[in-house]
Structure formats: structure tokens, C-alpha cells
Amino acid sequence: MPVYFFHIRDGARLILDPQGSDLPGLHAARDEARASVREFAIEALQHRLPVDRLHVEIVDEDGTTLDIVRFSDVADGD
């Protein structure tokens, strides 16, 4: 099973995922990233921090960015 890393970016700040997650494919990784963006957005909003630049970068084991899930992608409740 492939390993996907979920790096969180909030503007200039980058939080690296050092371990990654074994997932069956990119679709599952996107679902995981969407859930992560929602969780971080809730926390940011509770602290009255902006969320407009919040996103999760999905990266494979080679360091290639496969996709980016932005707060605006999940804000509508999909």
C-alpha cells in the first residue's frame, strides 16, 4: 500500500507530516486531506485565526506533491 504524507500549510507556515499514512490510493488520500483541512479550520476558527490560506499538500514517498486540498475546497460542506 502506498504511503501518503499530509503537509499542512497556513500561509508561510508549513507543518510537515513525518510519518505519513498507508492508504489504498489517491482517492483515499484526498478524503483524508479533506478531513484534516476541516479539523485544522475548526481549530483556527476557534482561536479567531484566518483560514483562507489553509491547505494540505498530499505528497508521495518520493516527495512529489500529488494534490493540494484547500480550505475553500471543503468550506461548502462537500
Cα–Cα distance measured from residue 20 to residue 52, given in angstroms and rounded to the nearest whole number: 25
Q: What is the pLDDT of residues 8-40, one digit of tens each?
A: 998 888 999 999 999 999 999 999 999 999 998
Specify the pTM: 0.87
Q: Going by C-beta distance under 8 Å and a sequence separation of 6 or more, which residues neighbour residue 31?
A: none
Q: How far apart are CA 14 and CA 23, in angstroms?
A: 22
Q: Give 26-69 as a DSSP string.
A: HHHHHHHHHHHHHHHHHHHHHTT---TTEEEEEE-TTS-EEEEE
- Report pLDDT for 16: 96
Residue 4: how many CB atoms within 10 A of its CB?
23
